[in-house]
Every structure is written in structure tokens, then in C-alpha cells.
Chains A and B, each alone.
Chain A
Amino acid sequence: MLSGLSILKKMNTVDDNEKVTDVHEQTFPQTEAAEKSFSDEANHETPLNYQDDTIAATTDGSSLTPSKEGVEEKPKKLCGYLYKLGMKGPLKAWKYRFFSYDDMKCNLLYYRIATDVCALGSIDLHAATFHFDVEAEEGIFEIKTPTKPYILKAINKHARMYWLQQLQRKRWEYCNNPSKIQTECIMSSDVHDREGSLHFGDGDFLSPVTTPTDVVGKMVALMPAPQESTSLQNISLKHPWKEIQNTVRNMCGSKPTQAISRSVFHFEESEQVSAEVTTKQFGKMSPSLNFARKARKQNGGFSSNLENISSDKLDNPQLQIQALTEELKSQKDLVKLLHRTLESAQEEKRVCAEYLSAPEEKDRLELIRHKVRQIEDLRQRVEVLQQEKQDLEQCVSLKDFHIEELKEHVQLLMEKNSAKQLVIMKQNEQLLSQMDLDNTTSSGMDTLHGQYRKIDSLMDDINAYKTQNRFLNSEIHQVTQLWRNTAEKETALLMKCSYIEARNCQLESKYLILLRKLQEVLPYLDADYCEVIKRLIEDALQSDIKTPLQPSNVHFSPISEYDDYGFMIIPEYELEHLKLLAKIQALEIRSNKLLTHDVVDKPLRIKWNSLEELSYSTDLKNLVRCGIPTEHRKRVWKWLTCQRINFSANHYKDLLKKCESAQHPATQQIELDIHRTLTNNKHFNSPTSEFIQKLRRVLFAYSWQNPTIGYCQGLNRLAALALLVLEDEESAFYCLADIVENIMPTEYYSNNLSGSQVQSGVF
């Protein structure tokens, strides 16, 4: 135990080292670190915990992945969550289960959740058929095993098709796995060869469905069951014990994900999966990221607003500045004005100064004149300007008038416009009303739309049915192939069985022969030997030959007292010492029958079965000379008779009528012989038997068919045999007539049997 533990530990450490190297190749540095910490943790575990963990991990591994090799060879492990309809009990509810396919037993195991150790149950797939209904709820499909149907539900159509196809594939793989069949039958090699050449022929019907990775596969197993909140509903009432086991196991693990990641097999895998999960989560997180970005944008907008607000606050001094500048401007204007007045005042002052400074009167006068002229000039200018002003005023009034005019015009146009608008409005209304009318008339259009929608839905239905059809075709195809394979195996086994039986019969008959020999010399032996031999004989007789075996196949009918035509096979010896002989005979007959059945009869039977229409040919002749198999005898006899005998359709009935009206002298002899015909045949040994009545009618009819022969002892037997083979009495009658009149020599059955006497004389 201890050494085992240490080995386990060693293995684990080695694996851990490998893991570390593997991890170096990984591209995720953070997971690497995590792994390292995990492995460290694992190394520091106490041995007891360690053991517990490894066991838990390996059992987990068996439920998720069959083996390490399995992981490498079959990357796709068929497992995932499905809904299962509870069949038993009053609660018929969908239960969420984790399904996992077991390659070894061709079972579909289901667990409450993926991390469970003990399966709640299993579905045996190797003899199951799959089916889904289009009209049912989406994703529902059915697995019918010989014992019980299971109704499962995948989350969508795609997942359902995936599941069905995978299950088919698994069943096919399992059923055609040659290692499973351990039959050493004679034909088995052929069968296997053919199996080898058979492939999973699904492509004809359905193209393989892509794996819906989000609902099936190992990764799903690691994801928490989505319906944890309603897990109470999922608790299996049927399997309380397993439920408890699972929960206890989970609790013991206490860190199930850790347990898995710590496990030898799942380190890499979980890593990958976690990576996938993280990417997945990233994918899922992207909208939230977007939201964040959006939020940031909004924030940006906000900040600019804030800037605006602050700038608003800054605007106040600017306004002050403007006001001040305006003030400044007005002040400047004022200054300019003051400057001008100052200038004019200075001019006046200068002129006054000039006048005052003029030394002479004349100059002063001159100056005054000059000023007057200046005043005169200025007065003229003022007049001109006034004129100008008047003109401008006139012009202004003219313009005003013009404006008035224009205003009126505008008013007019406005009115016009409003009128036009009114018209437009009216027309619009009219149009609308017309549109309404159109709509009312096009209420048919609505129904048309409805029909279009209906057509669409119908098209959908058609597509669904088509897929269903294709699936069912593939199902039928596969199931028939499986059936065919099984049938072949069965026949091979049966053949072997018959060989063995035949050998057994031979041995037994030899043994009995020996016993009989001993019995013959019994009187000459010692009393002791006599006793022993007697007892042996008694034992041999007691073991009933009629029920040694109950062969399942109809071809090997159980040993019957009667053969195909109802003749007793085993002669009835009354005397004690002959009973052994009878048994020997019976066993020999049986052994012959069993041995010839396959070697001789089978090829002949195949040839016979291939004969569709009978016509004269050397082939048929050769076949007939090998003996006509029982099942074809009727047809061939009938055909042969018809070739030679040509009676009118009512010939037989007419003869029967004649029998009623007149009695042939042979009638008495016929009556005597009817009950003495084939007395060892079960159809003829009862006086009330239908065959007896038929025989009577046939013989009576024949007595009138050929009154010179009438009836000859022995014809009863021919007629009886014809009846046994042909069953129909009219055909039997024609057969009898054919034999007597065409096949046998003339006069063979005549009044003095001259023909038969000649024959016995010659041979």
C-alpha cells in the first residue's frame, strides 16, 4: 500500500514536472504562474489527501475522458448537458442532466452535474433506435431501447442533430467493432471481412453537423450547471443514494475545480478550457466594455460642458471690457468733436487775430469782403445742399411708396400661397381618403401577406420534415445494415449449431448401435454386464428424442414424429428391443437431414428461388433431377400437369356432378380403400379429416374420368400424395389423371393390369 502510494506520488511529481515544461510552451504567463502554484500546492499535500485527490481525479477522469490515450486519440468526447424527461412516478418533468458517452459499453451515462462521480443511470445504445418528431418541442428527441424509451431534449435543433448523429456514429462504431464479436463460426471471417469494408455511410443522407461547442464537449462539463438555482428540481428522486454519494464526493473535494486542475490528466486540459472560458468570457464581456467606452465618451462631453460653464464665467469681464472700449470710443469721438471745435475756435481766433493785426483799413475791408464772399459761397452751398436734401427727401418718399407697393404685393402673394396651401391640404385629404379606400380594397393584400407568412412557416415545416426524413433514412439505413450483419452472424451460428447437432446425432446413433450390438449378445454375458447394459439401454430410451433441442430457426424444425407431408418418421415398434432400432433410425435421419441441409440443399435452394417462371430447359431438368425442394414442389407439379393435361375449366366439377347422379361400380372398392390410405400420415389417419373427403371426391371423379380403369388399388395412394403436395383437390385430380394417362404405360391400371405385368415381366 505504502509503496503504491509512493509510486503514485512519484508519478504525479513526474507529471507535474512535465506539466511545468508544457506550461513553458503555453502563451499565457499568468496561467503558468497559477499552475506552478497549483503544482506546488499539490506537492505539499499530505499523502492521505493526496491519495484522496488522485482517486477523485481519476474517477472524474473516467467519467469525462476514458484514459490519457483516449484523450489523445479521440479529442472529441461526446458529453454535454441535456434535458431528460422523467418517465416514472407522478412527476413528469424535464430534468437537467449531464450526459456522457461510454465507449466501452456503448452506454450513455447521465449525471446530475458534470462533476458527479456516480452516474444516475445509463442508456444502452447498442440496440437502440433514435427518432425525433418535427412537431414536438424544439430539441426533443427519443432514444428507444428494447426495454424502455428515453425522451431527451437538447437546447436547440442544431444540438439535437449533433447529438443524434454522434449517437448513431457511436452505435455504428460499437456494433462494428470486431473485437466485440467472439464467434468462431465458420462464416464469421466472411462476415468480418464485409464488416471491415463497411463504413459509416451517413453522408448519403445527412451532412455531418458541426459541433455546437457551447453545449457539448468537455468544456461544458467544467462550466457550472446553468440551473443551479433550481437544482432542487434536478435532484433525482429515483437515485437518492447516488445523489448523496455525489454530494458527499463534492463536499469532500470541497474545491472541485482545484481537484480537477490538480489531477494528472486534467491539468493541461483544464488549462485550455479555462483559456477558452476566459476568451469566452471576454466575448461576453465585450458589450460591457463597450458600455464603459460609451460612458467615457459621455464623460468627455460633460467636461467640455464644464469648460463652457467656466468660459461663461469669464464672459463677464469681457463684457465689461467691451463696454469700456465702447465708452472709450465715445470718449474718443467726444475728444475728436472737441478737437474740431477747438480747431474752428482757433481758426476764428486766427482770423480775428489777422483782422486785428491788419495794419490798414483797407486790408481790413479786404478781409471783410473776403469773408462776405466766403459767406456768400457758403450760402450757395447751403442752398445746393438743401436742394439736394429736397431731392433726396423726394426720393425717399418715392421709395417709401415703392415699399408700400411691394408690401401689398407680398400680402397678395401670401394670400395666394395660403390659398394654394389650402388647396394642397384639400388635395392631400382627398388623396388620403383615396388611400384609405385603397387600403380597404387591399385588405385582401393583408390576407395575402398572411398567406405568405403561412407559406413561409410551411416552408420551414417542409425543411424540418426534410431533415427529419433524411435523419430517419440514415437511421433506417444503419439499422437495416446492423440487422443484416446480425442476421448473417445468426445464420452462421445456426449452421454451426446444425453441424454440431448432426455430429451429436451421429455419435448418439453410433452409441445406440453399440448398445444394440451389446443387447444382442446380452444372453452370453455376465449378469453384471447385463445389468449395466440394461440400465444404459433404459437411460438411452428414456432420454426422449422428440425434445432434445428446441432450435430457434424454422429451417431446423424440431424433431417431429411427422415429416413435411405429415408422414410418421419414427416407425412404431411395439417390441422392446426394436425401440432402440427406431431411435437409431430417427437419429440417422435427423443427422442426414442436418448435414445435407447446408451442403447440398442450400445451393440448390438458391437456384430454385431464383427461378421465376418455369419453362422447359435443360437447367430446369437438371434441377428437377436433383430433387425438387418441398416449397417448390407444388408449383412445379402444377406447372408440369398443366403442360400435359388440357381439360375445360369445369371438367372436374362436371365429373363430381356425374358422381352424384351415378355410381361407378368401383365406388365400393374406393370406399374400402379410402380409410386404408397412407394410414401413417396424420392427414389421413382420421376418418373425419378433410383430406379423406378430398381423396374420396378425387377418386370418384377419376372413376368417371376413365370408366374403363375406374379404380385400381394403388391409385388411392397416388391421389393422396398428389393431395399432400398440391393441397388443392382439383389440381390433385389433374395430377392423378396425368400420371395414369400420360406418365405410366398404357394398360398399367387397366382391368387385367396387363401393362404392369409386362413391366414386372421385363424387369
Chain B
Amino acid sequence: MAKQYDVLFRLLLIGDSGVGKTCLLCRFTDNEFHPSHISTIGVDFKMKTIDVDGIKVRIQIWDTAGQERYQTITKQYYRRAQGIFLVYDITSERSYQHIMKWASDVDEYAPDGVQKILIGNKADEEHKRQVGKHQGMKLAEEYGMDFYETSACTNYNIKESFTRLTELVLMAHRKELDGLRLASNDELNLAELEEDGRKADGTANSKSCWC
């Protein structure tokens, strides 16, 4: 049987507790929405294979606990992520304010070539909105990130945001991918990718424009 994917990426969902990280993930992977998930303790992950430009990409999405004290644990996962969702809740000014702290953590612990995307979740709860869309866009621009307002509840912008980050990661690793493809037309292996990623850190870094 043919291998089910061509490449595997690790994405990470971070943000304050209760902004809806787990909901985003469930909506994306299972297309389900539960108004009440249990609070995530430590970390959790789900997988999904998507097709981007003809490449079967297996994405492993790590869901983290939002409580501050769990950051000591979740930080350990930053290092191995290729893409990071920074999630805030548009009905919570506080969670928006905390994005800066999360971003600085990412800078500190994540590898340099990591792709990031800003998500303002719970866009369906317009009546409770505390953070304007422009605020989000402004912040994203500040950090050089893409920005999506999403709603796991209404399935708004979910697929788009996830696909977008995958594409970004793919683009970031395009060079190694191409090289591998040419070399042996074989599928990427995570370990190889990681190794290559580390080697190619410098180049990737130079390529990316945001630092």
C-alpha cells in the first residue's frame, strides 16, 4: 500500500486558557464542534492529512494547556514545531494582550524558521467582542504574521487558516523538499526533515523576511 503522506509537519496551538484552541483543532481535524471541551492539561495532539499543491501533507497539531504554569511544559514543544498558531479570543481583551507575551516566548524557545499565524477566535460572538478586527490585523502586521478571524463554532476560516499555515511551512521548507524529491523521489521522513531543517536553519532564516 502506498504511503499515506509525503511530508509531516508539526504545528503548535498556543494562547490563553479558554480561547478555543482545542475547538479549533477539533473543528479542523474532525469537523466537529463541542461547546464544552474539557480543559487541556499539558499537551494533546491530533493529526490530519491535507493536500497542498499535490503534496500529501500530514500535519501533527499539538494542542497545549493555556494556564500560565503549564508553559514550563509547553515551552518544551516549541522547539520541535514548524508552525505556530497564536490564538486569542476576540471576546477577551486580556487574551489579546497576552499575545505579546506568547510571541516573546515563541521568539525565545521556538526554532528560528518557525512560521506563525495569528488567530482571533470566536468570531461568531460578535456581541461580546472586545478586540476589534483591526486590532488583530495591526498586531499581526507588527509581528509580520498572517491574521485570521475564525470561528470554530460556525466553521469560519478554519480550513483557510490551517491550510495557510501549512502552505507557509511548506514554502519555508520548499528548498529541502525539492532537493529530497530530486534526490530519490522518495517521501520525506520526519527525521530527515528535522535534520535537514536544522542544517538549513541558516538559509531558511535568511530567506524569511520577518526577523
Contact = CB atoms under 8 A, between A and B. Distances in A.
B69 A752 contact: yes
B163 to A, nearest CB: 21
B128 to A, nearest CB: 15
Interface string B1-43: 0000000000000000110000000000010101011111100
Contacts of A713: 17, 39-41, 65-67, 70
A679 B37 contact: yes
Given A712-B67, A752-B69, A574 B38 contact: no
B57 to A, nearest CB: 21
Give the interface size bracket for A toward B: 20 to 34
A494 to B, nearest CB: 37
B134 to A, nearest CB: 27
A524 B204 CA distance: 44
B41 A714 contact: yes
A736 to B, nearest CB: 16
A437 to B, nearest CB: 103
Contacts of B67: 669, 712-713
A77 interface: no
Contact of A676 (B30, B38, B70, B73): B38
Contacts of B37: 676, 679
Given A669-B17, A673-B39, A713-B41, A751 B34 contact: no
A672 B36 contact: no
B72 interface: yes
A677 B39 CA distance: 7
Among the interface residues B36, B41, B65, B72, which one has the most CB atoms of the partner chain A within 10 A? B36
A498 interface: no
Contacts of A675: 36
Interface in A647-684: 669, 672-673, 675-679
Contacts of B73: 753, 756-757, 760
A752 B75 CA distance: 12
B148 to A, nearest CB: 23
A675 B17 CA distance: 13
Nearest to A672: B18
Nearest to A711: B67
Among the interface residues B17, B36, B69, B72, which one has the most CB atoms of the partner chain A within 10 A? B69
Nearest to A751: B69
A712 B30 contact: no
Contacts of A574: 30, 32
Contact of A679 (B17, B18, B34): B34
A753 B38 contact: no
Among the interface residues A676, A685, A751, A754, which one has the most CB atoms of the partner chain B within 10 A? A676
B6 to A, nearest CB: 22
A676 B36 contact: yes
Interface string A722-763: 000000000000000000000000000011111011001000
Interface in B38-58: 38-41
Interface string A4-48: 000000000000000000000000000000000000000000000
A744 to B, nearest CB: 14
A679 B72 contact: no
A405 to B, nearest CB: 148
A115 interface: no
A576 to B, nearest CB: 13
A760 B41 CA distance: 14
A716 interface: yes
A679 B69 contact: no
Contact of B69 (A673, A685, A716, A753): A753
Among the interface residues B30, B38, B40, which one has the most CB atoms of the partner chain A within 10 A? B38
A752 B72 contact: yes
B17 A678 contact: no
Contacts of B17: 669, 672-673, 713
Nearest to A749: B69
A678 B66 CA distance: 18
Interface in A47-77: none
A754 B73 CA distance: 9
Interface in B45-100: 65-67, 69-70, 72-73
Interface of A: 574, 669, 672-673, 675-679, 685, 712-714, 716-717, 750-754, 756-757, 760
* 3 A-B pairs with the lowest CB-CB distances in the bound complex, closest first: A672-B18, A676-B39, A679-B36
13 contacts: A673-B18, A673-B39, A676-B36, A676-B37, A676-B38, A679-B34, A679-B38, A685-B36, A713-B66, A714-B41, A717-B38, A754-B72, A760-B73
